[in-house]
Amino acid sequence: MRLRSRDILLTAAVAAPAMLFTFSRMTAQAPRTPAQRPSWTVGSQGPLPEHAKFTPQQAENGGALFIQNCAFCHGKDAGGGETGPDLTRSKLVTGDKNGEAIGAVIRNGRLDKGMPRFSLSDTEILNLVAFIHAQQDASLSQSGNRRGVDESDLHTGNAEAGKKYFEGPGGCTQCHSATGDLAGIASKFSGLRLEMQMLYPRDAKTKATVKTKSGQTFTGTVEYEDEFTLGIRDSSGIYRSWPMTAITAKLDKPVEAHVTAMSKYTDDDIHNVLAYIQTLK
């Protein structure tokens, strides 16, 4: 069943009349509460997060769906409301490339946290994803009215605690070493760019093994990927692409575990780890 605002209003009316007031007020003006915004996310410096290219039509259709289903919690522009966080500053949205992370939240909800579950078609979900990414890109590229962390936010962490976290509960050493691959990372990137790189490493390559219907096999790194098309470049530099329907593909995305993990850390963990990473000059 598709959850519409009316259903929520009805539920809310039965459950708690006070909430009905809140919801209708939000529908009217979608106010923002700064306290609800995550205290850190990517800033507007540096390049925008990478994600699949969506058509303006997808974003437009998604905008209509968003107004219908999501806006009374997340605000009309996805900038946050009283009962839903600002999606333009969401780490999860930043890490999402093609709807895999956003789609999962929409389909499963987070019922214990007040995010309902929606049954929408794949196309509808992709349209919503297109809209949310477009809103985030627009918000991150706004100059003057800069949103996202301040440079000074980057110095609030505790490097010692960050080191402990890195080596312990953060599980970072499963894949990284401060004296190996991350040695000198703070000389390569600084400030918000470093944070961004930690949050969403841009250059990480996905490897693909593609099998065509006629039984040929190709391997390479993924250069283009959306719902319908996969394009890879092989080791000799040749680019090939196929409609998804013509192939079976096995993708190896080493960075996925990293991005998934990043969205689970608390703000404190992130600040501390960032403070630690900043010492790796």
Quote the least distance from Cβ 145 to ligand HEC, whole Å: 21
- CB 80, CB 87: distance < 8 Å: yes
Q: Which helix (H) or strand (E) holds 209?
A: strand 207-212
Q: Quick one: 1 exposed, middle or buried, by C-beta within 10 A (0-12, 13-18, 19+)?
A: exposed
Among candidate residues 11, 2, 4, 7, the one with its CA nearest the CA of residue 119: 2
Q: Should residue 273 be labelled a site residue for ligand HEC when binding is judged by CB under 6 A?
A: yes
Tokens representing 268 are 């404190």
Q: Should residue 140 be labelled a site residue for ligand HEC when binding is judged by CB under 6 A?
A: no
Q: Should residue 6 be labelled a site residue for ligand HEC when binding is judged by CB under 6 A?
A: no
At 3 the three-state DSSP class reads coil
- CB 88, CB 147: distance < 8 Å: yes
For residues 46 and 116, which CB has a smaller minimum distance to ligand HEC in the complex? 116
For residues 101 and 230, which CB has a smaller minimum distance to ligand HEC in the complex? 101
Q: Should residue 121 be labelled a site residue for ligand HEC when binding is judged by CB under 6 A?
A: no
Tokens representing 89 are 């500053």
Residue 150 to residue 143: CA distance in whole angstroms: 13
Tokens representing 110 are 């987070």
Q: At what angle are helices 122-141 and 100-108 packed, to 10 degrees?
A: 120
Residue 247 to residue 237: CA distance in whole angstroms: 20
For residues 204 and 246, which CB has a smaller minimum distance to ligand HEC in the complex? 204
Sign of CA dihedral 53, 62, 95, 222: negative
Among candidate residues 209, 221, 204, the one with its CA nearest the CA of residue 256: 204
Choices 44-52, 136-144, 216-224, 250-258 (CB under 6 A): range interacting with ligand HEC: 250-258
Q: Should residue 103 be labelled a site residue for ligand HEC when binding is judged by CB under 6 A?
A: no
The residue within the footprint of ligand HEC, chosen from 30, 59, 102, 130 (CB under 6 A), is 102
Quote the least distance from Cβ 59 to ligand HEC, whole Å: 13
Q: Should residue 126 be labelled a site residue for ligand HEC when binding is judged by CB under 6 A?
A: no
Choices 13-21, 150-158, 170-178, 211-219 (CB under 6 A): range interacting with ligand HEC: 170-178
For residues 82 and 212, which CB has a smaller minimum distance to ligand HEC in the complex? 82
Interface positions, 51-80, toward ligand HEC (CB under 6 A)? 69-70, 73-74
Sequence-distant (≥ 6) Cβ neighbours of residue 47 within 8 angstroms: 202
For residues 20 and 255, which CB has a smaller minimum distance to ligand HEC in the complex? 255
Q: Should residue 192 be labelled a site residue for ligand HEC when binding is judged by CB under 6 A?
A: no
Tokens representing 231 are 């394009």
Q: Should residue 87 be labelled a site residue for ligand HEC when binding is judged by CB under 6 A?
A: yes
Residues that bind ligand HEC (rule: CB under 6 A) add up to a total of 43
Interface positions, 171-190, toward ligand HEC (CB under 6 A)? 171-172, 174-176, 182, 185
Q: Which chain residues interact with ligand HEC by CB under 6 A? A: 8, 69-70, 73-74, 83-85, 87, 90-92, 102, 105-106, 110, 113-116, 118, 128, 166, 170-172, 174-176, 182, 185, 197-198, 201, 203-204, 254-255, 257-258, 261, 273, 277
